[in-house]
């Protein structure tokens, strides 16, 4: 069940960003020093976040942006006197994005809001062609027979258009109930029809389209909010894959459906840089009493590249970077070794953290706790004990020493259940080591910034970023100083199918290269 942190009076709900507002439950000088460094104008969170997201920008795995971020992090740690290294975990396909220009040129002219998806091939020169939609075919053989029709044309093969790009909250607030239900029913019908149609094309439909000489693949993937679209990787290998905004995808699809002759002109450039080494950035403060026991701060550095990767996971990156600066300034000689991992390849399947856990069994064996942050801006508000039955008593001890302006906003799930995916704490949990997600408000993040074209610096709430870095530094300090190492006792898992307890999450094989 959920456990709500005890409130410390209405004053504790006031501005935590004010140095005068703190309510310390302890006289611990390190806690006070971390607060003073992290929650006042001494904080470097805003400056660091601006450089990472605006200047370096998106950090697609293997891209020059990711490589620049690796170098930048090492330089910051060197400036602060923190030992840091770039640790190679494998290789990945390096790719550089340039510009995307897509115009509707018939039956009227409009420059469309579009971008190539990650790792897409570009065009060598502007390409023009008709847009055609995927036909309703009975089976895979019929799809193969249809494929010669795509030569020289743009194809919308699989993505259903939205009947409306108006945000759901607007529908719910302003429309009549009958209108809302009608929109929902139409949306569900369109999605069912498109999925069933695509399923009938058989396996490897995109690869077969690649070989058929199409001018490009066009798609849309709306994120259920005003102006936001998900931006992932290209489904094709040899032809461009371009994604349109919800509104523009709906426009061209309606033109095609009504046989009004939509023609597109695409000029999109990218550069395939081949398979290159990829790295985690690992920094540490060596423990002086228990150097072989570890507290790990965890966040992934890589991002998708439809925007700047600000809240996924620039905010997590800066939370851990700033927390290490606070620790170096306030607690430079920890009892246990404090390690921070800025992981690569999270978006491709927790690769960087998984490789680190696989390559460093001594850290898994000696782990006191790993604290991972990876879901955008807003304050940390929820910590699940992930099925470790004694974790709750440790967090109770630690959080009892955290200023009330931070602690009273946090809910706990005790003992909780282990997650089965999602982020880099799973690389520890699947090995039976205590890893925890420091979770912020999820629905807003999921709708508006998670993997979207709007995930930019302006979406960061700097007061909350300062709060999260400060809390993380305090947890690292308190976990390091705890006289007891956290046991790894696990709950009995809930029953699954057949009435038997579900298994504890397992670790998959870590993929060390792109394979392309």
Residues 441 and 318 in one domain: yes
The last residue of a domain, from among 203, 234, 261: 261
- CA 117, distance to chain mean position in Å, is 16
* Residue 473 placed within a domain: yes
Instruction: Measure the CA–CA gap between 254 and 262, rounded to whole angstroms.
Output: 9
Which residues on neighbouring strands pair with residue 233, listed in sequence order? Answer: 118
Whether residue 107 is preceded by a cis peptide bond, meaning omega within 30 degrees of 0, is: yes
Residues 312 and 247 in one domain: no
Dihedral sign computed on CA atoms, order 200, 201, 204, 206: negative
Determine the pLDDT at residue 81. Answer: 98
DSSP letter string over 132-147? Answer: EEPP--SSHHHHHHHG
What is the residue whose two structure tokens read 């799930």?
A: 413
Task: Determine how many CB atoms are found less than 10 A away from the CB of residue 189.
Answer: 12
Q: How far from 276 is each of 62, 69, 301, 330, CA to CA, in Å? A: 7, 15, 17, 38
Token pair for residue 395? Answer: 């967090």
User: pLDDT digits over 262-281, tens only?
Assistant: 999 999 999 999 999 999 99
* Residue 416 placed within a domain: yes
User: pLDDT digits over 35-52, tens only?
Assistant: 999 999 999 999 999 999
- Whether the CB-CB separation of 222 and 165 falls below 8 Å is answered with yes
- Whether the CB-CB separation of 242 and 217 falls below 8 Å is answered with yes
DSSP letter string over 465-489? Answer: HHHHHHHHHHHHHHHHH-SSPPP--
DSSP letter string over 423-442? Answer: STTHHHHTTT--EEEEE--H
DSSP letter string over 341-352? Answer: EEES-GGGTSHH
* Greater model confidence, 376 or 182: 182
pTM of the model: 0.93
DSSP letter string over 199-224? Answer: HTT-TTHHHHHHTTTBSEEEEE-B-S
- For 69-222, list the strands marked E by DSSP: 83-106, 110-112, 114-116, 127-133, 154-156, 216-220
- Whether the CB-CB separation of 229 and 221 falls below 8 Å is answered with yes
* Residue 511 placed within a domain: no
* Residue 187 placed within a domain: yes
* CB neighbour list of residue 434: distance below 8 Å, 6 or more residues apart: 367, 368, 369, 370, 386, 388, 391, 428, 486, 488
Instruction: Measure the CA–CA gap between 201 and 344, rounded to whole angstroms.
Output: 35
* Residue 103 placed within a domain: no
**What's 338's domain CATH number?**
3.40.630.10
Q: Which of 314, 161, 172, 315 is nearest to 229 (CA)?
A: 161
Cα-trace Rg, the chain: 25
**What's 123's domain CATH number?**
3.50.30
Determine the pLDDT at residue 478. Answer: 98
Residues 219 and 364 in one domain: no
Mean pLDDT of the chain: 94
Instruction: Measure the CA–CA gap between 434 and 339, rounded to whole angstroms.
Output: 15
Residues 471 and 325 in one domain: yes
Token pair for residue 310? Answer: 């600000």
Instruction: Measure the CA–CA gap between 167 and 250, rounded to whole angstroms.
Output: 15
- Whether the CB-CB separation of 412 and 395 falls below 8 Å is answered with yes
Residues 453 and 327 in one domain: yes
Instruction: Measure the CA–CA gap between 386 and 74, rounded to whole angstroms.
Output: 32
Determine the pLDDT at residue 2. Answer: 39
* Residue 26 placed within a domain: no
Is the pLDDT assigned to residue 260 strictly greater than 80? yes
Is the pLDDT assigned to residue 16 strictly greater than 50? no
Which residues on neighbouring strands pair with residue 280, listed in sequence order? Answer: 87
The last residue of a domain, from among 198, 227, 261: 261
* Residue 69 placed within a domain: yes
Residues 440 and 485 in one domain: yes
Residues 279 and 391 in one domain: yes
Tell me the mean pLDDT in the region 202-229.
96
Residues 236 and 316 in one domain: no
Residues 386 and 479 in one domain: yes
Lowest mean pLDDT among 124-133, 424-433, 494-503: 494-503
Number of domains in the chain: 2
Phi-psi region of 172 (alpha: psi -120 to 50; beta: other; left: phi over 0): alpha
Residues 306 and 404 in one domain: yes
Residues 77 and 129 in one domain: no
Is the pLDDT assigned to residue 22 strictly greater than 90? no
Write b or e for each residue in 208-243: b if 16 or more Cβ atoms lie within 10 A of its Cβ, otherwise e. Answer: bbbebebbbbbbbbbbbbebbbbbbebbbeebbbbb
Give 516's pLDDT tier (boundaries 50, 70, 90). Answer: low
Length of the chain counted residue by residue: 516
Task: Determine how many CB atoms are found less than 10 A away from the CB of residue 207.
Answer: 13
Determine which helix (DSSP H) or strand (DSSP E) holds 512, and give its type and residue range: none
The last residue of a domain, from among 261, 292, 320: 261
DSSP letter string over 371-400? Answer: EE--S-SS---EEE-TTBTTHHHHHHHHHT
* Residue 399 placed within a domain: yes
Residues 141 and 210 in one domain: yes
Tell me the mean pLDDT in the region 301-316.
98
- Domain that includes residue 207, residue range: 108-261
Determine the pLDDT at residue 515. Answer: 84
Q: Which of 204, 211, 240, 246 is nearest to 225 (CA)?
A: 246
User: pLDDT digits over 88-140, tens only?
Assistant: 999 999 999 999 999 999 999 999 999 999 999 999 999 999 999 989 999 99
């Amino acid at each position: 069940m959920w456990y709500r942190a005890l409130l410390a009076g209405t004053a504790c709900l006031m501005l935590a960003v004010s140095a005068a507002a703190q309510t310390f439950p302890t006289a611990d000088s390190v806690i006070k020093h971390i607060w003073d460094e992290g929650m006042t104008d001494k904080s470097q969170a805003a400056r660091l976040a601006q450089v990472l997201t605006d200047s370096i920008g998106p950090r697609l795995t293997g891209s020059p942006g990711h490589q620049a971020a690796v170098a930048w992090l090492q330089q910051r740690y060197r400036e602060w006197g923190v030992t840091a290294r770039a640790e190679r975990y494998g290789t990945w396909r390096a790719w550089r994005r340039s510009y995307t220009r897509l115009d509707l040129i018939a039956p009227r002219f409009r420059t469309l809001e579009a971008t190539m998806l990650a790792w897409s091939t570009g065009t060598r020169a502007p390409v023009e062609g008709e847009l055609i939609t995927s036909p309703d075919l009975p089976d895979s053989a019929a799809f193969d027979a249809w494929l010669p029709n795509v030569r020289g044309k743009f194809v919308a093969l699989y993505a259903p258009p939205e009947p409306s790009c108006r945000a759901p909250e607007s529908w719910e607030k302003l429309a009549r109930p009958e209108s809302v239900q009608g929109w929902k029913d139409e949306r569900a019908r369109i999605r069912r029809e498109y999925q069933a149609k695509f399923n009938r094309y058989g396996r490897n439909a995109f690869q077969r389209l690649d070989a058929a000489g199409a001018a490009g693949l066009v798609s849309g993937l709306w994120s259920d909010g005003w102006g936001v679209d998900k931006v992932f990787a290209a489904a094709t290998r040899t032809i461009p894959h371009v994604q349109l905004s919800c509104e523009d995808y709906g426009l061209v699809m309606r033109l095609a459906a009504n046989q009004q002759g939509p023609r597109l002109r695409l000029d999109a450039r990218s550069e395939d840089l081949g398979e290159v080494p990829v790295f985690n950035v690992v920094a540490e403060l060596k423990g002086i009493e228990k150097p072989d026991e570890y507290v790990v701060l965890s966040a992934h550095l890589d991002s998708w590249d439809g925007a700047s990767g600000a809240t996924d996971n620039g905010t997590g990156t800066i939370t851990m970077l700033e927390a290490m600066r606070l620790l170096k300034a306030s607690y430079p000689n920890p009892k246990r070794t404090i390690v921070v991992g800025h992981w690569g390849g999270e978006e491709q399947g927790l690769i960087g953290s998984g490789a680190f856990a696989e390559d460093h069994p001594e850290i898994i064996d000696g782990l006191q706790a790993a604290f991972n942050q990876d879901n955008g801006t807003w304050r940390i508000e929820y910590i699940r004990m992930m099925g470790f039955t004694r974790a709750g008593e440790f967090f109770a001890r630690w959080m009892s020493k955290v200023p009330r302006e931070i602690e009273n906003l946090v809910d706990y799930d005790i003992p909780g259940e282990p997650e089965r995916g999602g982020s880099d704490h799973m690389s520890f949990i699947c090995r039976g080591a205590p890893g925890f997600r420091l979770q912020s408000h999820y629905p807003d993040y999921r709708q508006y910034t998670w993997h979207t074209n709007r995930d930019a610096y302006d979406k960061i709430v700097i007061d909350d970023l300062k709060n999260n870095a400060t809390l993380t530094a305090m947890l690292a300090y308190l976990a390091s100083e705890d006289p007891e190492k956290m046991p790894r006792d696990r709950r009995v898992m809930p029953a699954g199918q057949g009435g038997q307890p579900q298994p504890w999450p397992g670790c998959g094989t870590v993929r060390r290269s792109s394979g392309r």
